[in-house]
Amino acid sequence: MRRLCLGSTALASTSLAIGGLVADPALAADPIKIGVGGYYQFYVLAGAMEGNYALNGTSVQYNGIQFIQQGEIYFNGVTKLDNGTSVGIRVQLEAWDPSYGSAGTDVRAVDEAYMYAFADWGRVEFGAKDGAAYTMYYGAPSALPGWGFLKHNSNFSWSNPVARGFNVAALRLDGSTIDVEQNKPNRINYYTPRIWGFQIGASYAPKVQPRTQPGSIWGLNSGPTSGVAGVCGFPAATAANGCPINDNSWLNAVAVAANYLNKFGDLYVAFYGGFSTMTFSPSLNQVQSAYNTINGANLSSWNQTVIGVQFGFRGFTVGGSWGWDNMGLGRNGYTGGDNDTRTWAAAVMYETGPWQMSAGFAVATNDNGNGSPSLLNCAQGSTSTCSVAAAATSSVYFGSNQSAGAATFGTLTASYIELGATYQLGPGVKLVGGAVFTNLTGPSNAVAAQSWAALLGMDLHF
């Protein structure tokens, strides 16, 4: 995964070529030549993860030691035309197992795959890539590769998976930037030239299958099936024939962002603001899956906004951000409560010689207008998991018998604290260490758990 948060040295760069490994342009007479790059990260974690405890006394417990890894291989090539425009292509091959769905049926081999062109008129990108608003973000910095406050390409989280699945606020801990759930559907991005420090970017995707949409907690079903390759809106490189619209999906995803970068003596500054929206297209055949008449939960247009700031001074980088996300959910049909999530993140980083150190936190709260279920039973097997009771009627759902499916109401909170340090052993080789702490809280046993870990690993770039 690319690190978007920049240190004081990187913050000074205002290159128009955004967030990529770009080979030196060839002469106009030369064809595109492919260069290879990439990264690999490995961590050993040791700590504790609180278990899940169901109403019937069953539970799921978690190991306190885990090995995790991820990596990508980049293929990038570019050539320069006689008119001054550079044209290139970039493909990212996954070097780990990022399978979506069951039994590996939806395994992705290629993450990003897109073409790009840039010149004095700006930069355009077409294909499976992060959106412009996501790429232009500035906020809380981090010295912990693969973790931080704006990741979405990593499974690194070290938090209770059941509680994280039901605590809607926790979904935003995976990224303080914008459009994290969209990942990389086929889209087009445009970036203006940077003028007096200002740059504007815009994106458009015809259809999006979100990586994560919390509607399933309340019996809603966004479609088509998330993460299935070959289906229109797939969140990575794919091709699809035909693109239905009345299938509980999100269409016409538009994002606009602007940032400002400048240097005043030894002080570097960056400001960011972004907004995104995509329209919900309900199914004409499965009305209940878009509006649950028992609990009042419903899917809606998905809107987000994020603002961020970052300052760098003599090795120090300080940054933070605030974001709002309606999670693609409308106000509850009975209570009128919303399900909006608000996220705050802040961090400080210091760089000197081969060392880089950081400390930061993120807090997300969700209004929980649909209510939270309670864990009824936990089962062990090839996959250990916990289940909740489904209320048969509205009176049961808004009642008091949690074993029958009654919901509990109250704010959902997710918080994350991170300490990180890296030491560069040589070109492209870093020794990494740190600690992470996650605390999920809310009104039921399905949404609350704590976890912490110390970690040690390596970060390799080539």
> Average pLDDT over the chain, rounded to whole?
88
- What tens digit of pLDDT does each residue of 118-149 get? 999 999 999 999 999 999 999 999 999 999 98
Question: pLDDT tier at 181 (50, 70, 90 boundaries)?
Answer: confident
Q: Where exactly are the structural domains of the chain?
A: 8-461
- Report whether pLDDT(3) > 50: no
pLDDT at 10: 40
- Cα separation of the two ends of the chain: 13
Cis amide leading into 145 (omega within 30): no
pLDDT at 46: 98
pLDDT at 28: 54
- What tens digit of pLDDT does each residue of 48-86 get? 999 999 999 999 999 999 999 989 999 999 999 989 999
d(CA 461, CA 452): 27
pLDDT at 16: 37
Is CATH 1.10.1240.10 the right assignment for the domain spanning 8-461? no
Is the Cβ–Cβ distance between 291 and 298 less than 8 Å? yes
Q: Which residues pair with 128 in a beta bridge?
A: 113, 186
- What tens digit of pLDDT does each residue of 186-210 get? 999 999 999 999 999 999 999 988 8
CB-based contacts of 56, cutoff 8 Å, min separation 6: 376, 377
- What tens digit of pLDDT does each residue of 83-112 get? 999 999 999 988 765 554 444 445 557 888
- Report whether pLDDT(250) > 60: yes
pLDDT at 226: 54
CB-based contacts of 37, cutoff 8 Å, min separation 6: 21, 73, 74, 76, 461, 462
